[in-house]
């Protein structure tokens, strides 16, 4: 784990954009996957929220949350080891990863409560 995190160069400002890019990718995957699922195999409305579509969307969201949370922690730890420019980069990245993580949590909440294709 530690070595992977080191290889990611968490003090590089590229991490300013990776977290939210992942958020966008997750968002597009969920929105697009949902649209395709509803176009190809819409579950019966009687099933409510307990459908395969909701389950799959949740799984994808949990994966995204896991990755983003790990990167948040990684950047946060890295920030403590540096000063100046590198600390700034890692701190801002940590914040952005945290926001992306919570962004997925927040935008994924409706999956628990709304039937998919109505």
Partner 1 sequence: MTTINREVTPQGDLPENPERLHNDLHEIWGNPRGLKALTIVNHTTLGLRFMVTGMVFFLIGGLLAMLVRTQLALPDQDFMSPDIYNQVITMHGTVMMFLFAIPMLEGLAIYMIPKMIGARDLVCPRLTSLGYWCYLFGGIILTFSLVLEMAPDSGWFMYTPLSSSEYSPNLGSDFWLLGITFVEISALSAGVELVVSILRTRTQGMALHKMPLFAWYILAMALMIVVGFPPLILGSILLELERAVGMPFFEVAGGGDPILWQHLFWLFGHPEVYIIFLPAAGIVSTLIPVFAGRPIVGYGWVVFAIITTGFISFGLWVHHMFTVGIPQLAQAFFSAASMLVAVPTAIQVFVWLATLWLGKPKMKLPMLWIMGFLIIFVCGGLTGVMLALVPFNWQVHDTHFVVAHMHYVLVGGMFFPLIAGLYYWLPLFSGRMPSETLGKWGFWLTFLGFNGTFLIMHWTGLLGMPRRVYSYETGMGWDIFNLLSSMSSFVMSAGIAMVLLDFALHFRFGKPAKHNPWNADTLEWANSMPPSAYNFVSLPKIETRHPLWDDPDLPRAMAAGEHSLAVATHGRREMWGTDPLTGKVREIIHLPGNSWWPLFAAMALAVVCISLLTRLYPLAGIAVVIAALFLLRWSWENGAHPKAAPDAHVAPGDPSLHSRTMDGPGLWAMSITMLANGSFFLSYLFGWFYLWTVSPEWRMPETSPLSLVGLVVAAVALTVGGGILEKLVRGLRQQRDAGLAIGMFSISALGFVQVGVTLWVLLSANLAVTETSHDAIIMVGLAYALLHGGLGAVLTLLQGLRVGYGYVGAHAPFEPAVVAQLWRYNVVTFWIIVGALAVLPRVIGS
Partner 2 sequence: MRLSIQRLTQQRVNLPGVPLALLAGLLLTGCAGDKSILDPAGQAARDVVMIWWVMLGFGTVVFVTVVALWLYAFKRKEVTRTPVQERRIARRWIIGGGIILPVASITALLAFGVPAGQRLLPLPLGEPPEVIEVIGHQWWWEVRYPDAEGGEVVTSNQLIMPAGEPVDFHVTGADVIHAFWVPRLGGKIDMIPGRVNKIRLEADEPAVFGAQCAEFCGAQHTQMQLYVEAVERDEYDAWLAARQTDELTSLAENDQQHEPAREAFMTHCASCHRVAGLSTAGEGPDLSDLGSRTSLGAGIMAMEEGAVTHWLKHHQRLKPGNKMPPHDDIETATLESLGAWLETLTP
- Kindly state the smallest distance separating residue 46's Cβ from partner 2, in Å: 6
106 belongs to the binding site for partner 2 (CB under 8 A):
yes
* Residue 9 backbone class (left: φ over 0; alpha: ψ -120 to 50; beta: rest): left
Contact 15, 86 (CB under 8 A): no
Residue 55 has which token pair? 């389950």
User: Of 34, 24, 35, 23, whose CA–CA distance to 57 is shortest?
Assistant: 34
- Kindly state the smallest distance separating residue 56's Cβ from partner 1, in Å: 12
Please identify which residue in 6, 17, 21, 45 interacts with partner 2, judged by CB under 8 A: 45
Number of chain positions touching partner 2 (CB under 8 A): 9
Contacting positions for partner 2 (CB under 8 A) = 45-46, 106, 109-110, 113-115, 118
């Amino acid at each position: 784990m530690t070595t992977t995190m080191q290889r990611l160069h968490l003090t590089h400002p590229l991490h300013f954009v990776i977290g939210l890019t992942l958020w966008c990718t997750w968002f597009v995957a969920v929105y697009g996957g949902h649209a395709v699922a509803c176009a190809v195999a819409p579950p019966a409305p009687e099933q409510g929220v307990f459908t395969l579509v909701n389950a799959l969307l949740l799984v994808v969201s949990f994966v995204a949350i896991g990755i983003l949370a790990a990167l948040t922690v990684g950047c946060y730890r890295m920030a403590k080891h540096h000063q100046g420019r590198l600390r700034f980069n890692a701190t801002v990245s940590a914040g952005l990863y945290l926001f992306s993580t919570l962004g997925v949590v927040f935008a994924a909440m409706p999956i628990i409560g709304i039937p998919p294709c109505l």
